[in-house]
């Protein structure tokens, strides 16, 4: 590739910033990334506690199998193929009586399982899973890869896309005659609230699994980020850690450089912010380029977000043989943030995932978390800390019923809230990418 002699400044070494940097270098630009932390990844991160790795981010990564997106990860050298864990069961929904719905990643296996649970629901099961299978050719996750023409791929699937966007998981669950399926089905997509989640994303996941995709990179999210960081550096990119950007320099309303927190100025032909949108628009650019649409988008965003609250535990217990994820339907009282919870989403990482030593495991619980709830508590550091302790104790009491003896096997635990994300990435209100706007 010929050098262009053009310089690009990128703000942030999350996955977006690192990937942009790699492709900039591959296309002959000189890229420099300014990252406020001392490590790469942003949201795509993990941390170590007493020999356990607590993984914050990746659940299912598109492009780990046969989908076109795989080409991008190859170019970024993001993982070795042999380190991708493909799950047999995406999630198991378990009720209080031990009844199980296993969402197998193999559609034929899943069909058989569902028909065994409820032969009288054959039509509803066929309708659901035939749709999952037919969306396979849309390769939705690779949509941006080949520009305009890749989008034409979805035309034959437009009917399915419209049909399944209009119905949510809870509504679809009501079509089952079987009472257990009615109750369990709304929990199949990361246990997100079934009434908020259209069937379409779930079906795209089923199609992705059918393509042998959506695996999980062994060793977790930080390792994944570090691989792309390594690629960027190998391509000759310049990465500056501990370098928060305070302002974007403008010339005739064009971004021409940045001012770092230490006061130094840096100039380039192109400036790209791969940090949080809100911080970029209202702080780095002083709100000069906002609009009513953008303002109302940020004003109307919901304060409660899926995955906002996470509880991690390092266990002296081998949980091999358990599925990777369980949506546990519970009938005991569980109130968190003053809201009654009727289920817990439990992710299990045994030693084969690289997150725990042999004979040990990590458990991660993800649930909805409310920014304002934790923000109020944070005004008194001690109350904030205490509330996190309370959350842990409530959760472990519930888990004790499902995993007898677990309490005594917990060696270390940690709780993250939307404020953890805000502090760590400067993301406005600790938002993550997939919180749907409340209204916009």
Binding positions for ligand FAD, rule: CB under 6 A: 11-17, 34-37, 42-44, 56-62, 244-245, 274-276, 279, 307, 425-427, 432-433
CB of 260 or CB of 410, closer to ligand FAD: 260
Q: Are 4 and 266 in contact (CB under 8 A)?
A: no
Least separation in angstroms between CB 174 and ligand FAD: 28
CB of 194 or CB of 215, closer to ligand FAD: 215
CA distances from 309 to 216, 365, 366, 374, 410 (A): 21, 8, 6, 10, 19
Least separation in angstroms between CB 60 and ligand FAD: 5
What is the token pair recorded at 258? 């940045």
Least separation in angstroms between CB 371 and ligand FAD: 14
Least separation in angstroms between CB 436 and ligand FAD: 14
CB of 61 or CB of 326, closer to ligand FAD: 61
CA distances from 383 to 20, 374, 376, 388, 390 (A): 41, 10, 10, 9, 10
In angstroms, rounded to a whole number, what is the distance separating the alpha carbons of residues 38 and 47? 13
First to last CA, the chain: 42
**Residues facing 314 on adjacent strands:** 362, 412
CB of 173 or CB of 391, closer to ligand FAD: 391
CB of 34 or CB of 128, closer to ligand FAD: 34
CB of 14 or CB of 186, closer to ligand FAD: 14
Least separation in angstroms between CB 44 and ligand FAD: 4
Least separation in angstroms between CB 19 and ligand FAD: 8
C-beta atoms surrounding 252 within 10 Å: 5
What is the token pair recorded at 385? 């800390």
In angstroms, rounded to a whole number, what is the distance separating the alpha carbons of residues 151 and 139? 10
The per-residue b/e assignment along 136-152, b for 16 or more CB within 10 angstroms, e otherwise, is bebbbbbeeeeeeeeee
Least separation in angstroms between CB 20 and ligand FAD: 9
Q: By beta-carbon distance, which residue lies closest to ligand FAD?
A: 14
CA distances from 170 to 35, 74, 173, 182 (A): 42, 38, 5, 8
The alpha carbon of 124 is separated from its chain's Cα centroid by a whole number of angstroms, namely: 29
CB of 201 or CB of 244, closer to ligand FAD: 244
Least separation in angstroms between CB 47 and ligand FAD: 13
CB of 360 or CB of 426, closer to ligand FAD: 426
Cβ neighbours of residue 368 closer than 8 Å, sequence gap 6 or more: 193, 304, 305, 306, 307, 308, 309
Angle at which helix 107-117 crosses helix 199-210, to 10 degrees, equals 120
């Amino acid at each position: 590739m010929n050098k262009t002699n053009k310089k690009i400044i990128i703000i942030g070494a999350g996955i977006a910033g690192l990937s942009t940097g790699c492709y900039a270098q591959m296309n002959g630009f000189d890229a420099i990334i300014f990252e406020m932390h001392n490590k790469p990844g942003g949201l795509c991160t993990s941390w170590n506690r007493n020999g356990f790795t607590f993984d914050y981010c990746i659940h299912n990564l598109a492009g780990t199998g046969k989908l076109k997106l795989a080409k991008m990860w190859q170019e970024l050298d993001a993982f070795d193929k042999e380190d991708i864990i493909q799950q047999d069961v995406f999630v198991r929904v378990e009720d209080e009586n031990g009844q199980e719905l296993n969402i197998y990643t193999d559609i034929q296996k899943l069909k058989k399982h569902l028909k065994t649970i409820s032969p009288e629901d054959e039509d509803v099961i066929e309708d659901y899973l035939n749709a999952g299978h037919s969306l396979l050719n849309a390769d939705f996750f690779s949509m941006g890869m080949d520009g305009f023409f890749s989008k034409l791929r979805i035309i034959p699937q437009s009917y399915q896309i419209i049909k399944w966007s209009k119905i949510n998981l809870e509504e679809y669950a009501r079509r089952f005659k079987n009472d257990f399926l009615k109750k369990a089905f709304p929990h199949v997509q990361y246990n997100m609230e079934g009434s908020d989640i259209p069937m379409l994303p779930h079906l795209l996941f089923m199609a992705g699994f059918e393509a042998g995709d959506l695996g999980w990179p062994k060793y977790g999210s930080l390792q994944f980020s570090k691989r792309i960081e390594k690629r960027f550096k190998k391509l000759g990119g310049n990465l500056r850690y501990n370098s928060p950007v305070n302002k974007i320099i403008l010339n005739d309303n064009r971004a021409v450089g940045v001012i770092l927190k230490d006061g130094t100025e840096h100039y380039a032909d192109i400036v790209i912010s791969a940090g949080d949108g809100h911080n970029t628009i209202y702080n780095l650019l002083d709100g000069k380029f906002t609009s009513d649409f953008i303002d109302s988008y940020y004003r109307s965003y919901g304060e409660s977000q899926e995955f906002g609250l996470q509880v991690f535990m390092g266990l002296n217990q081998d949980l091999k043989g358990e599925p990777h994820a369980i949506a546990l339907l519970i009938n005991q009282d569980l109130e968190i943030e003053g809201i009654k919870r009727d289920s817990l989403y439990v992710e299990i990482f045994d030693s084969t995932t690289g997150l725990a030593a042999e004979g040990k495991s990590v458990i991660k619980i993800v649930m909805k978390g409310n920014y304002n709830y934790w923000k109020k508590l944070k005004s008194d550091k001690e109350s904030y800390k205490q509330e996190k302790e309370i959350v842990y104790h409530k959760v472990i009491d519930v888990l004790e019923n499902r995993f007898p003896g677990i309490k005594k096997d917990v060696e270390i635990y940690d709780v993250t809230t939307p404020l953890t994300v805000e502090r760590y990435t400067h993301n406005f209100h600790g938002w993550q990418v997939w919180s749907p706007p409340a209204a916009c």
